[in-house]
Each structure stands twice: as C-alpha cells, then as structure tokens.
Amino acid sequence: MGKISVETCHIEGLKIITPTVFGDERGYFMETYNYNDFAEAGIDCTFVQDNQSSSRKGVLRGMHFQKNFPQDKLVRVISGEVFDCVIDMRKGSPTYGQWFGVVLSAENKKQFFIPKNFAHGFLVLSDKAEFTYKCTDFYHPDDEGGVAWNDPEVGIEWPIPEGMELTLSPKDEKWPGISAYKN
C-alpha cells in the first residue's frame, strides 16, 4: 500500500481515505482511485457509476439510501467543502441508527467510503462545492429511501454556522424519522 492512508471510526465498515499527494512548484498529482490499493485496504468493490453534483452554501442533500438495490459509495469533494454524514441502516448492526460525519474538502483531499445500507447526505459549508461519488450499483429512482436530516432520534450534529439558511429539496423535507424503518 502506501499511496493511501485509511482511518476507521466507531461504526464498522466506514473508512476515511487520504491519498498521498505528490507536489512541486508545478502543482500536485495524486491517485484518487487504484483498485489494488483499495482492495488491500478492505474496499474490494466494483464501481459501476460515477456521479457529480454542484451545490451552493447551505444546501443540505440527504439523508438518502436505496432500499432494495443498496450501493457502496466512495465520495469526495473536488471543489469547496462539505460536512458529509451517514446513518447506519443495517438491520441487526450494533450501531444501527448511529451517525458519523466528516469534513471533506478540495483542500484536505479526503475520501469517504460508505458501505451498503447507510443513509447518506451532506451540507455545503463553502460558497460552492462540487461533490463526486462512485457507486457499486446503478441508481433506481423507484427504490429511494430517506431519513429526515433533523430526526431527533438520530441526533446528527450538523455544523450549521449562525445565520446560514438551509436549502433542501421538497423530497428531503419530507423524509420520515428512522423509526419508520425499524421492525
């Protein structure tokens, strides 16, 4: 390995990846994805779709997941800064319903690996952000699920600065709390 460093957290399966950046007076170079390095780090996935979005400050997208066609995701920010967050939705998981968040930015170049069956979302902290992600399954519009971004049962601590106005899609304003998904 050596081209990436991998951090874990209290929720099994989540990984924060920091690439090795080679820089000089011309700028920098880094590998954003190398199958062999990721497989050695325990991320042995076949990605089938890449997505990219652009959002302005205060946009909150989430918390989304696919119900019957879950996706592993590898996410990163190529411009700006976001607070990226997930909720463990894995039935039977000892951390079911718990959340974890990390700041991703063009500056820190970190990536976040999110296994299947996590709800995912992010809040744009910079004036604008471009967000990219690789997925292991295709998007199925009729398979969407979501959890309210502000569900008190989950208790995500969003870093919302004073005076920031949030912008959510009508769909994201209507997701139920996590209790709607418990057996």
Print pLDDT tens along the chain (183 aa).
Answer: 468 999 999 999 999 999 999 999 999 999 999 999 999 999 999 999 999 999 999 999 999 999 999 999 999 999 999 999 999 999 999 999 999 999 999 999 999 999 999 999 999 999 999 999 999 999 999 999 999 999 999 999 999 999 999 999 999 999 999 999 985
Which residues share a beta bridge with 124? 82
- CA atoms within 13 A of residue 1's CA, in its CB half-sphere: 13
The CATH code that applies to domain 4-181 is: 2.60.120.10
- Which of 33, 35, 64, 96 is the catalytic position? 64
pLDDT of residue 182: 81
Distance CA 121, CA 64 (A): 6
Active site residue 64: yes
- CA atoms within 13 A of residue 5's CA, in its CB half-sphere: 7
Q: Which two tokens stand for residue 11?
A: 């929720």
- Which of 96, 120, 133, 181 is the catalytic position? 133
pLDDT of residue 1: 45
pLDDT of residue 2: 61
Q: Which two tokens stand for residue 105?
A: 């930015």
Domain range annotation of the chain: 4-181
